[in-house]
Structure 1
Amino acid sequence: MSVIAAIDIAGAGAFGTALAITLANAGHPVTLWARQGAEKMQAQRQNTRRLPGHDLPPGIRVTGDLASLTSDILILAIPTQKLDGFLAGARLSAGHVISTAKGIHRATGLGPTGLIARALPKAIPAQLTGPSFAADLAHGLPTALTLACADASVASHLQQAVSTPALRLYTTSDVIGAELGGALKNVIAIAAGAVIGAGLGESARAALMARGFAEMRRVARAAGARDDTLSGLSGFGDLVLTCTSDKSRNFRFGAGLARGEAFDPEITVEGLATAQELAARPEPDTPIADAVTALAEGRLDFAATLETLLSRPLKPE
């Protein structure tokens, strides 16, 4: 049974706003920090730019003042590549800091909890990840996520505090596995989008997802993650969601790449930075991440990228 707690959320994008809505609807007092447009959101009771059509419950207070984030539980709904800069410029006092970002920070090679631990050594970092679209959360539709924290007792505490009737959290101590599941599935989603965007069909997408999942597990094992973590919500569950729906930004980005279409630069595509990070590493073997990087950087067109993948040596599965 969940407990009522004051919760702060930094980042008023679609997902941060949706989390605020579902938590406030469950009775939690929520302070939502927005980098821009806080006064407008507070007055209009909607995030018309990032999550239009969803009213903010009375329990949400929107602010542009970081000093207003004083609760013990702070959720960071800020993209991985911007998280380090945010943490460096913010004076945060929360004892428990949960990131919802999915990706690998290019400059440091760290995941979100690593960035939090480096910037806020007194805080206990955790990762919230798994198959979820902001619109589903805001609508109150059933959603299950993974809450990863190295400290099992803290994970249990946060599970009780953040779960709601519509948002069910499962805990794990495998933070590396949970972070990598959320990061790596975005790479495969870009590739899946490219497959569909190029008209290669559902069978090709299914094959891509299967081989992509094998690549995810290979990378995660090399980083010390538990294999069973990738089979759960934060890995396989999120992979299925993002590879099969055009609600996924990474999927739409991949589809646009295959069609030669421009993509809105204001939309965060975490999977691209993750693919580039993996492609720069000599080990382990990441042919799909390498192909996504080459395609996105314009070093290969889609036909050449496909030929590269299909010409790989035949081998046992």
Structure 2
Amino acid sequence: MKKRITVVGGGAWGTALAVQAVRAGEDVELILRNPDLADRINKNGENDLYLPGVQLPGALRATTNYDGIRDSDAVLLVTPAQHLRETLTRFAAHWPDELPAVICCKGIEKETGALMAQVVNETLGNVPVAVLSGPTFAQEVAVGLPAAITLACEDRVLGKRLVDLIGTPEFRPYFSTDVAGVEVAGAIKNVLAIASGVVAGLKLGDNARAALITRGIAEMSRLAVAMGGRVETMMGLAGLGDLTLTCTGTLSRNYTFGVALGEGRKAQDILSERRSVTEGVHTAASITAVAAKYGVEMPICAAVDQVANHDADLRSTINALLQRPFRDELESNG
């Protein structure tokens, strides 16, 4: 029997996940804020703003009405991380207590330092929560290319049910109970992708990028453990897998933002030209505050925050990183 999945958020990733849910055989509704775009999706079978050129299945319905949430078996939350609280506040009265919220956005709330699961609990109450995160570009998922991803849920029975709900041979969810670890990894990889793009834009070489990715995993692991996650999650799809993809793939908004920074452009000029959100810019600021709260040293993320959000001189910031004292590789800080 078909299940009903509602996808909240009509950007590239939300649209791709809606396509995947149709491909998995489910009854799918995509909720957008833009009524004109919803009409065009229903009429033309294409999200021409965020996923142009990809033909969408006729079974996919786009709408701006969220009443249908009440009748859903699961809701995939794919709004930008910094807008999730506002979005859920609008939906709260329509959300049944037993309806699972599957978080598909990556970030840490700028104003509060909260992970997205905390935002869900604070706005919807004690509803079931899962997190979907891993190395996936929307364009490739939308056209059916193979991908693997982590689905984390503390409730193993619910998590396995959600895996079966959205999984197909080409889109393979791997189950985890480490919700906090998966969330931290997904947020920090966007910040590190900006740093990797800077390395490419400055033509600092492949050695530098390999070093950055490796030390980035160390930063990611320290904060994840401090926030209740597990180190081994950082070596999986949501950690190393997603980090590798976004630090090397030219489809990554965060990576290409970093490349433009490295080539000498100003952050605000780059962002002003973009329709989609570059999450790593916001998360860099959040990470800096959260790391200080937990007493975790994260020099690469802090450097990205200074350059992306405070217009720090790029060369001076990199030189400061390179002048840091030598340390044992497995030190818990630095």
Coarse TM-score class (shorter-chain normalised)? over 0.9
Cα distance, 1:203 vs structure 2 = 1.2
In the alignment, which residue of structure 2 is the partner of 1:287? 299
Cα distance, 1:7 vs structure 2 = 0.8
2:246 counterpart of 1:242: yes
Aligned length in residues: 315
1:159-238 equivalence runs, <5 A:
159-238=163-242
Cα distance, 1:164 vs structure 2 = 1.7
1:141-160 equivalence runs, <5 A:
141-160=145-164
> How many angstroms apart in 2 are the aligned matches of 1:93 and 1:138?
28
In the alignment, which residue of structure 1 is the partner of 2:261? 257
In the alignment, which residue of structure 2 is the partner of 1:99? 103
Confirm or deny: 8 A CA contact 2:20 2:166 kept in the other structure.
no
Cα distance, 1:238 vs structure 2 = 0.3
> How many angstroms apart in 2 are the aligned matches of 1:92 and 1:308?
51
> How many angstroms apart in 1 are the aligned matches of 2:173 and 2:309?
37
Cα distance, 1:92 vs structure 2 = 3.2
> How many angstroms apart in 1 are the aligned matches of 2:88 and 2:185?
23
Letter in 2 for 1:266: R
Backbone CA RMSD of aligned residues: 1.4
User: Cα deviation per residue 1:129-181 (whole Å; 9 max; x = unaligned)?
Assistant: 00000011011011111111111111111111111222111111110001011
> How many angstroms apart in 1 are the aligned matches of 2:209 and 2:14?
30
User: Cα deviation per residue 1:70-127 (whole Å; 9 max; x = unaligned)?
Assistant: 3121111111100001011224325111010101011222111111122112521111
Q: 1:78 to 1:130 in 2, by over 3 A?
A: same
Unaligned runs of 5+ in 1: none
Q: In percent, how many aligned pairs have the same letter?
A: 39
In the alignment, which residue of structure 2 is the partner of 1:76? 77
Cα distance, 1:267 vs structure 2 = 2.4
SS in 2 for 1:55: coil
Give the ranges of 4+ consecutive aligned residues of structure 1 lying more than 3 Å apart after TM superposition: none
State which drifts further: 174-183 or 260-269.
260-269
Confirm or deny: 8 A CA contact 1:27 1:59 kept in the other structure.
no
> How many angstroms apart in 1 are the aligned matches of 2:5 and 2:131?
15
User: Cα deviation per residue 1:220-276 (whole Å; 9 max; x = unaligned)?
Assistant: 111121111111111110000000011111101111112232313432111122211
Structure having the larger proportion of residues in helix: 2
In the alignment, which residue of structure 2 is the partner of 1:268? 277
Cα distance, 1:300 vs structure 2 = 2.1
In the alignment, which residue of structure 2 is the partner of 1:85? 86
In the alignment, which residue of structure 1 is the partner of 2:332? none
> How many angstroms apart in 2 are the aligned matches of 1:301 and 1:116?
37
User: Cα deviation per residue 1:198-235 (whole Å; 9 max; x = unaligned)?
Assistant: 11111111111111111111111111211111111111
Confirm or deny: 8 A CA contact 2:107 2:283 kept in the other structure.
yes
Unaligned runs of 5+ in 2: 330-334
Q: 1:306 to 1:242 in 2, by over 3 A?
A: same
> How many angstroms apart in 2 are the aligned matches of 1:185 and 1:125?
21
In the alignment, which residue of structure 2 is the partner of 1:53? 53
